């Protein structure tokens, strides 16, 4: 992938987001020290103003696309990136801001900004993959830093990343958690949400919010039926599926089915 003695170049880009996934990279601490010895950080404004020109071997992209300027900048990023990885719910599904997709964005702009005429925004918030080819996606809000490290290590080693595609339910079973859905009739998206968080919410007796998006085998209709049987109203089911990953196709389709 690179010449002898040459460290691969890494760039980290921000679009519409809260920066939390970029901070997950910095939170790796000891692992980060080893990472900077293996790669050259060429563009990462969260860390340094020093910028090296592309092309870049690996680009990490955080955030969703919300403006036409975003679209054009993203196309430039893709053009100078050999391997592009989207990180986090915003980049992989549109993020919490994709809730705007279910309303008239002009109403929001008028309510928030004193001079809405100056705001230039798209009518929807969309994931990076809607606009350019993506080589790999890392889910989460925020991402699991160990998954990010695995993807970068896999790239350096020339192998496929080993990232789980099973559900949060399986993480709960592995941790011997009592099922909050079955035992407590607590609304939980664990049966349809991809693993990666360590089942942190069920661990403290709360239902999963779906931060890592749909699992590969997500049966959202079955879970929605169970939630309804436990007393959830259609509006409750809609709210469950319209959260951090509201724009994920599987969750968006299920929420629309109950939006009466």
**149 & 175 share domain:** no
**114 & 177 share domain:** no
Q: Cis link prior to 142 (omega < 30° from 0)?
A: yes
Given 130, 157, 184, the domain boundary residue is 157
**20 & 145 share domain:** yes
Which residue matches tokens 């790796």? 28
**146 & 240 share domain:** no
| pLDDT band, residue 192 (cuts 50/70/90) | very high
- Looking at the chain, the whole-number percentage of residues with pLDDT higher than 90 is 84
- Looking at every residue in the chain, the average pLDDT score rounds to 94
Which strands, in side-by-side order, build the sheet including 136-138?
Answer: 40-44, 9-14, 56-62, 81-87, 136-138
What was the pLDDT predicted at 78?
Answer: 98
Question: For 21-66, how does the pLDDT look when each residue is reduced to its tens digit (9 = 90+)?
Answer: 999 988 887 888 888 889 999 999 998 899 999 999 999 999 999 9
Mean pLDDT on 126-144: 97
Q: How many CA atoms lie within 13 A of 166 on its CB side?
A: 10
DSSP element (H, E) containing 10: strand 9-14
Q: How many CA atoms lie within 13 A of 240 on its CB side?
A: 29
Task: Return d(Cα 94, Cα 41) in angstroms, integer.
Answer: 26
Instruction: Report yes or no on 1 lying in a domain.
Output: no
Q: What is the total count of domains within the chain? A: 2
| Residue 13: strand, helix, or coil | strand
pLDDT at 90 over 90: yes
Task: Return d(Cα 260, Cα 245) in angstroms, integer.
Answer: 20
What was the pLDDT predicted at 128?
Answer: 98
Task: Return d(Cα 218, Cα 29) in angstroms, integer.
Answer: 34
Question: For 194-226, how does the pLDDT look when each residue is reduced to its tens digit (9 = 90+)?
Answer: 999 999 999 999 999 999 999 999 999 999 999
The answer to whether 7 and 86 are in contact (CB under 8 A) is no
Q: Residue 27's domain is classified under what CATH number? A: 3.40.50.700
pLDDT at 144 over 80: yes
Task: Return d(Cα 250, Cα 230) in angstroms, integer.
Answer: 22
| pLDDT band, residue 3 (cuts 50/70/90) | low
**Structural domain harbouring 189:** 168-257
**22 & 143 share domain:** yes
**179 & 117 share domain:** no
């Amino acid at each position: 992938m690179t010449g002898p003695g040459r460290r691969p170049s890494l760039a980290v880009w921000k679009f519409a987001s809260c920066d939390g996934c970029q901070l997950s990279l910095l939170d790796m601490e000891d692992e980060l020290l080893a990472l900077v010895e293996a790669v050259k950080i060429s563009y990462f404004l969260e860390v340094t103003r020093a910028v090296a020109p592309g092309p870049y071997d690996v680009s990490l992209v955080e955030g969703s696309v919300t403006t036409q300027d975003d679209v054009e900048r993203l196309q430039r990023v893709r053009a100078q990136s050999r391997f592009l990885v989207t990180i986090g719910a915003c980049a992989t599904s549109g993020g919490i801001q994709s809730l705007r997709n279910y309303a008239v964005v002009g109403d929001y702009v008028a309510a928030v900004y004193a001079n809405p005429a100056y705001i230039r925004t798209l009518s929807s918030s969309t994931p990076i993959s809607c606009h350019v080819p993506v080589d790999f996606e890392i889910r989460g809000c925020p991402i699991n830093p160990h998954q990010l490290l695995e993807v970068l290590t896999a790239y350096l080693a020339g192998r496929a990343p080993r990232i789980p595609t099973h559900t949060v339910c399986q993480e709960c079973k592995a941790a011997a958690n009592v099922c909050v859905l079955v035992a407590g009739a607590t609304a939980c998206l664990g049966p349809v949400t991809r693993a990666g968080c360590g089942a942190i919410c069920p661990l403290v007796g709360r239902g999963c919010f779906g931060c890592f998006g749909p699992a590969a085998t997500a049966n959202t209709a079955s879970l929605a039926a169970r939630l309804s049987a436990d007393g959830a109203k259609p509006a409750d089911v809609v709210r469950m599926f319209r959260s951090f990953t509201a724009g994920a196709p599987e969750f968006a389709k299920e929420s629309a089915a109950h939006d009466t």
